[in-house]
C-alpha cells in the first residue's frame, strides 16, 4: 500500500525563473543566458547546494572564477531578490495539498542551498504541511547521488515499496527507481495524477 509521496521542489512545487530577475536588473537578451549560466549553472552553485561551501563562499568563488564579469556578478548577487525568482506553482501546490488531505504522508527531497532554503521556508505555505524533508545543503549530498534517497528513507523509516517519488529530472527519477521507490517523471500534472492513481490501485491489489 502506498503511504508516502516524495516531492522534488524546484521545477515541481516551486517555479524558478532567474531570467525574470536578471531582466529586472537591466540585462539584455544576450546577457541573460550568459549570466544565468555563470551563476545558476556554475560548479560553485552546485557546491552550495551540496553544502560543501557556505552561500557567502559560493558568491566569492563565482566572482573569482569570472574576473571579467566580477563587477556585474557582484551587483546581481548582492542584490539578489528571490521575490522575482522563486514562486509557488499554484496548480502543483494545490495537488500537493490534495495528496496531504487524502491522508498520505508528504516529504520533500530537494537540491537547494541555505539561502534559497531559508527563503522558501519563510515564504511558501507548503513548508508548513510537509511531514519531513531532506535538503542537500544539510546532508552533504545532492540528487542523483543514491545517498540522498537513502537518508530520507532511513530518517523517516520509509519503505521504498510504500513510497512514490516525483521529480522533473529524469536521472533523479531513474536513480530513485533503482532503490525500489515507485518513481514518476514530472512532466504534466495530469499525467502525473494518472500515474499516481495507477500505482496506488496496483499496490492495493498486491
Residue pLDDT tens, the chain, 206 long: 999 999 999 999 999 999 999 999 999 999 999 999 999 999 999 999 999 999 999 999 999 999 999 999 999 999 999 999 999 999 999 999 999 999 999 999 999 999 999 999 999 999 999 999 999 999 999 999 999 999 999 999 999 999 999 999 999 999 999 999 999 999 999 999 999 999 999 988 77
Residues 80 and 111 in one domain: no
Residues 110 and 165 in one domain: yes
Residues 153 and 198 in one domain: yes
Number of neighbouring beta carbons within 10 Å of residue 61? 17
Number of neighbouring beta carbons within 10 Å of residue 190? 9
Residues spanned by the domain of 55 = 18-84
Residues 113 and 169 in one domain: yes
Q: How many domains does the chain have?
A: 2
Residue at which a domain ends, from 84, 115, 132: 84
Residues 62 and 141 in one domain: no
Residues 100 and 128 in one domain: yes
Contact 8, 186 (CB under 8 A): yes
Rg (CA), the chain: 18
Amino acid at each position: 500500500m502506498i503511504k508516502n509521496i516524495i516531492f522534488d521542489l524546484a521545477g515541481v512545487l516551486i517555479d524558478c525563473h532567474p531570467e525574470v530577475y536578471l531582466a529586472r536588473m537591466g540585462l539584455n537578451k544576450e546577457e541573460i543566458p550568459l549570466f544565468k549560466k555563470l551563476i545558476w549553472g556554475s560548479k560553485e552553485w552546485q557546491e552550495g547546494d551540496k553544502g560543501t561551501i557556505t552561500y557567502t563562499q559560493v558568491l566569492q568563488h563565482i566572482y573569482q572564477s569570472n574576473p571579467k564579469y566580477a563587477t556585474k556578478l557582484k551587483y546581481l548577487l548582492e542584490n539578489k531578490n528571490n521575490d522575482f525568482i522563486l514562486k509557488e506553482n499554484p496548480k502543483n501546490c494545490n495537488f500537493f495539498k490534495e495528496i496531504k488531505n487524502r491522508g498520505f504522508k508528504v516529504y520533500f527531497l530537494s537540491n537547494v542551498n541555505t539561502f534559497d532554503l531559508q527563503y522558501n521556508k519563510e515564504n511558501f505555505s507548503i513548508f508548513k504541511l510537509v511531514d519531513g524533508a531532506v535538503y542537500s545543503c544539510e546532508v552533504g549530498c545532492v540528487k542523483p547521488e543514491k545517498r540522498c534517497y537513502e537518508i530520507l528513507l532511513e530518517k523517516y523509516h520509509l519503505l521504498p515499496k510504500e513510497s512514490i517519488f516525483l521529480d522533473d529530472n529524469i536521472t533523479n527519477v531513474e536513480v530513485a527507481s533503482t532503490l525500489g521507490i515507485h518513481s514518476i517523471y514530472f512532466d504534466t500534472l495530469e499525467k502525473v495524477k494518472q500515474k499516481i492513481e495507477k500505482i496506488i490501485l496496483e499496490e492495493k491489489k498486491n
